[in-house]
Amino acid sequence: MSAAASRRIPVYGVIAAGGVSMLGNAVAAVALPWFVLDLTGSAAWTGVAGAVGMTPLILGAFFGGAVIDRLGSRRVAVVGDLVSAACVGAIPLLQALGLLTLAPLLILIAVGALLDGPAVTAQESRYPELARLAGLRLERVTALDELIDNGAMIAGPILAGLSIATVGPAPALAITAGCSLLAAILNLIFLPRHRPSRRAADGARPNDVLTGVRFLFGDPLLRTLLILGMGVVAIFGALDAVVMPVFIRESGRDIAELGWFLAAAGGGAAAGALGFASVGHRIGKRFVLLACLAAEAVAMFLLAGQPGGATLLTAGALAGIGAGPLGPLVNTVLLRRTPSAIRGRVLGASTAVALTATPLAVLLAGGVIELLGTRSLLLGGASLFAALTMLAATLPSLRQLDREPDPDRPDRRDPPIPAADAPETVPSLSKIPRRPS
């Protein structure tokens, strides 16, 4: 094996860990709402279960960033995956013992979600160093991460649909538990170990959880992307957790159709992420952002028409194509503009803030469906995406997306990655790099 190939093993291993974890989450995304619907027969309770999973995720992401900066990314990632495996694995066990009711189910969902956000953030916080070690552009690393995740989103729903049809939703969650356990092992092997920095950036205390929020809202571009992200994530959260399961059930469709819809969305997202990885650095990022938001609006309008099978898959694929480049685009900008000393807190704060509106959106979605039906809610979501597209087109701060410098210029090379156990250097906030750090 060549030296260049061996340097890329860690980044590929960490990305694989994220993909395995996402595969488990994709299975749970189908199995958990379906189980709650079977248990209660209520869209409102399905919304409550979705909100119960979202709220600890927000808290964990917000406070977990400081934990990552203090304890290290490797430790947080491994522990988070192990806790998730234990909580999800307890669901089929309690089901087999006849002890699984709504209350313990909601508790397990909440506890498992609490460390899910920090585990993902811990992995992503090391991408700049891993990309530099591998000799890869940061856009390619974030896009490859998105591509693998969306590949999992293709396989996960199909696997979930087959498993639910065969053994039921609760036993199908054993797949999620196994995936979380495997992700913990991969992170333990491939995620580099490092000594967390005790130095502060511009006087910020290492355990100051508000440092990430202040940094995000102090940067006009990141602040704008964050506000747009809140709207996008809230709409997607309601769509995945409540709207589509209820839509499939009310229209008399088979659970497999929900799996195929989510698989089509995952395939479209994989194609979008692959396109961004290939030519994203040559196309204006602002244009990519506007095109993605517009694609989501069209996809929601198609869904609002209560389509047949072919159009349902088309809408899913279009929604995925629009969503695919968004994650790597925002992550690339965020990672480039964030000093390594506070990267965990900034990534954790960005996840937490972006998810803030999602629990409310999920709760409202369940209530609105029972009052007005899924079609009205889908039309509302399409209108919101159209409004976000028009808003993004008029915001001057988003023009900075096309002013990001080329990190591959010969005069802008990054320093070598530090040794595994060496403390990370801490750039001043007054010298924030506009390239992979």
Distance CA(389)–CA(296), nearest Å, equals 9
Residue 410 falls inside a structural domain: no
Sign of the C-alpha dihedral computed for residues 412, 141, 326 and 82 taken in this order: negative
Q: Is residue 150 within 8 Å of 45, Cβ to Cβ?
A: no
Mean local confidence (pLDDT), 420-430: 32
Residue 102 maps to which CATH number? 1.20.1250.20
pLDDT band for position 16 (50/70/90)?
Answer: very high
Residue 82 falls inside a structural domain: yes
The pLDDT of residue 37 is above 90:
no
pLDDT band for position 426 (50/70/90)?
Answer: very low
pLDDT in tens, 218-228: 888 988 888 88
The pLDDT of residue 79 is above 70:
yes
pLDDT band for position 209 (50/70/90)?
Answer: low
Instruction: Name which of 11-15, 236-240, 318-322 the model is least confident about.
Output: 236-240
Provide the number of structural domains found in the chain.
1
Mean local confidence (pLDDT), 150-166: 80
Residue 408 falls inside a structural domain: no
According to the model, what pLDDT value does residue 207 have?
Answer: 52
Can you give the three-state secondary structure of 181-242, one letter per residue?
HHHHHHHHHHCCCCCCCCCCCCCCCCCCCCHHHHHHHHCHHHHHHHHHHHHHHHHHHHHHHH
What six digits make up the tokens of 283? Answer: 């196309």
According to the model, what pLDDT value does residue 437 have?
Answer: 30
Residue 412 falls inside a structural domain: no
pLDDT in tens, 259-316: 778 778 878 887 887 888 777 667 788 888 999 999 999 998 888 876 677 888 888 8
Mean local confidence (pLDDT), 152-164: 80
Higher model confidence: residue 44 or residue 365?
365
Residue 95 falls inside a structural domain: yes
Distance CA(33)–CA(22), nearest Å, equals 17
Residue 415 falls inside a structural domain: no
Q: Is residue 369 within 8 Å of 243, Cβ to Cβ?
A: yes
Distance CA(47)–CA(52), nearest Å, equals 9
- Range with top average pLDDT, 1-5, 127-131, 410-414: 127-131
pLDDT band for position 188 (50/70/90)?
Answer: very high
What six digits make up the tokens of 173? Answer: 């969650």
Mean local confidence (pLDDT), 384-396: 89
Residue 409 falls inside a structural domain: no
Distance CA(194)–CA(344), nearest Å, equals 13
Backbone phi, then psi, for 126, in 5-degree steps? -100, 0
According to the model, what pLDDT value does residue 429 have?
Answer: 28
Residue 419 falls inside a structural domain: no
Mean local confidence (pLDDT), 167-176: 82
Contacts of 59 (CB under 8 A, 6+ apart): 114, 352
Domain that holds residue 93: 3-403+425-431
Q: Which phi-psi region, left, alpha or beta, contains residue 191 (left: φ > 0; alpha: ψ -120 to 50)?
A: beta
